[in-house]
Amino acid sequence: MNSCDACVVRNRSICAALDSVEVEALNAIGRRRTLEPGESLIWEDSESVLVANVVEGVLKLSTGTEDGREQIVGVVYPSDFIGRPFGATTPHSVTAMTEAKVCVFSRTDFDGFASRHPALEHKLLQRTLTELDRTRRWMLLLGRKNAEERVATFLLDMSERLVDPGCDTPDQPLDRFDLPFSRQQVGDILGLTIETVSRQFTKLKRDGIVDLPSRRAVVIRDRAELKALAG
């Protein structure tokens, strides 16, 4: 596993709660793994055997319906933490949407380490509360917002979360980025059909709010108006 000193997400991940000696100890129980697009790391309702920090790439959290359909319930980005520490089973699958690099830890080893390091447990609690807030906002998006508001909110979220954590201004939203999803996947995330997503993208481009140089590329030209549309 590469040295944690060279990790681009160290200062934004849960490892930020640890000093150099503690990080070295955590490093000793972890390993670096690369996932190809479509490759799963965790499976829904399986025994919780591992947890991980996302270093590069984008992964989806998904669950299956009784009739075999997939519902994407969340998306994770570099510096996010995935898996279920202190838990028996995992409530959703975790699958790479792009090539991804993760630092993987045995769940039992990680649980023991966290129990001995209160600062890490505190950081995990903060992350859990942040995810809870994000889930509540997502419930509002899916339950109350119309198609235009959903797509606008989604693009704003992408501009904030796709920033390279290793850059000089990782908290500065991007005005230009490449979506790691197809339009069909955007529809799956937002609860919309691919036709509706395409119509909303076309309308945003026609109104001069965004530009779409390619199928995946997005340029935000009027962030204030996009925020207004997001409600």
Q: How far apart are CA 163 and CA 79, in angstroms?
A: 11
Which pLDDT does position 90 carry in this prediction? 86
pLDDT band at 147 (very low <50, low <70, confident <90, very high): very high
Which pLDDT does position 1 carry in this prediction? 46
- Fold equal for 4-139 and 146-230: no
CATH architecture for segment(s) 4-139: Sandwich (2.60)
Q: In DSSP terms, which residues pair with 100 in a beta bridge?
A: 35
pLDDT at 120 over 90: no
pLDDT (tens digit per residue) in 79-112 = 899 988 887 788 889 999 889 999 999 999 999 9
CATH architecture for segment(s) 146-230: Orthogonal Bundle (1.10)
Q: Give the strand order in the sheet containing 93-96.
A: 40-42, 93-96, 59-64, 70-76
Q: How far apart are CA 19 and CA 79, in angstroms?
A: 17
Q: How far apart are CA 80 and CA 95, in angstroms?
A: 14
Q: What are phi and psi of 210, to 5 degrees?
A: -135, 165
3-state secondary structure of 112: helix
Q: In this structure, what token pair is assigned to residue 16?
A: 């930020």
For the chain, the domains span 4-139, 146-230
Spell out the residues 6+ positions from residue 191 whose beta carbon is closer than 8 angstroms to its own. 142, 150
pLDDT (tens digit per residue) in 166-210 = 565 666 788 999 998 889 888 888 889 999 999 999 999 999 999
Q: What is the pTM of this model?
A: 0.79
Q: How far apart are CA 80 and CA 28, in angstroms?
A: 20
